A and B are shown apart, each in its own frame.
Chain A
Amino acid sequence: EAQVTQNPRYLITVTGKKLTVTCSQNMNHEYMSWYRQDPGLGLRQIYYSMNVEVTDKGDVPEGYKVSRKEKRNFPLILESPSPNQTSLYFCASSANRVSYEQYFGPGTRLTVT
């Protein structure tokens, strides 16, 4: 089954404790991205990757890092989480940037206290 998986689905952590949210897709997609979803603000893109070893900032990259060492994986790293990073995070992938249809993971709800 074609899918994008994220782990963990729920995470409660404390300020400053480094964390990683994993994302994996099994569709051999080149393009992957991370979004955060906040009430009243909709979805905002954090980072995206056009292919292995190619990443770029989205609209709200501050406080986040990503890596793309393999085509299927695109982890999101919060080196020193802060309460304003409490949000719902989605990973997405598509065949290429011009493919339009993005496939979304189920989301990771992060709470930073």
Chain B
Amino acid sequence: GDSVTQMEGPVTLSEEAFLTINCTYTATGYPSLFWYVQYPGEGLQLLLKATKADDKGSNKGFEATYRKETTSFHLEKGSVQVSDSAVYFCALSKGNTPLVFGKGTRLSVIA
């Protein structure tokens, strides 16, 4: 079946460091790809999405590019802040199927 694999956490960075969280997927057909973020004590929120190959999703300084050739959707941010500390989930959907989530990557940013 379809699956999403994320890099293991936790990830600890200093403020203003560059962030990359790796995500690769296995799916038949042409899934849409998502990053969700879960701040402490809250539910998940959609951070960004890309619906076809080579699309770039972006929001709040975060970016991810849908790479079909490498089946990847890595999350990047050029300069992280303490407020970015959260758990990040990569997910996929083929529209007529429920979201399939990765296991999540915890990010801690220290001042």
Contacts and interface: CB of A to CB of B under 8 A. Distances in A.
Interface stretch (A13-21, A64-72, A76-84, A97-105): A97-105
Contacts of A73: none
B77 interface: no
Contact of A104 (B43, B96, B102): B43
A107 B102 CA distance: 18
B89 A98 contact: no
A97 B94 CA distance: 10
Interface residues of A, number: 20
Given A97-B96, A98-B96, A43 B43 contact: no
Interface residues of B, number: 20
A58 B98 contact: yes
Majority SS of interface residues in chain A? loop
Given A41-B103, A42-B103, A100-B32, A48 B98 contact: yes
A82 B95 CA distance: 34
Contacts of B96: 97-98
A88 B89 CA distance: 16
16 contacts: A4-B43, A40-B103, A42-B101, A42-B102, A43-B44, A43-B89, A45-B98, A58-B98, A97-B96, A98-B95, A100-B49, A100-B51, A102-B99, A104-B44, A105-B43, A107-B41
Interface of A: 4, 33, 40-43, 45, 48, 58, 90, 92, 97-98, 100-102, 104-107
Interface of B: 32, 34, 41-46, 49, 51, 89, 93, 95-96, 98-99, 101-104
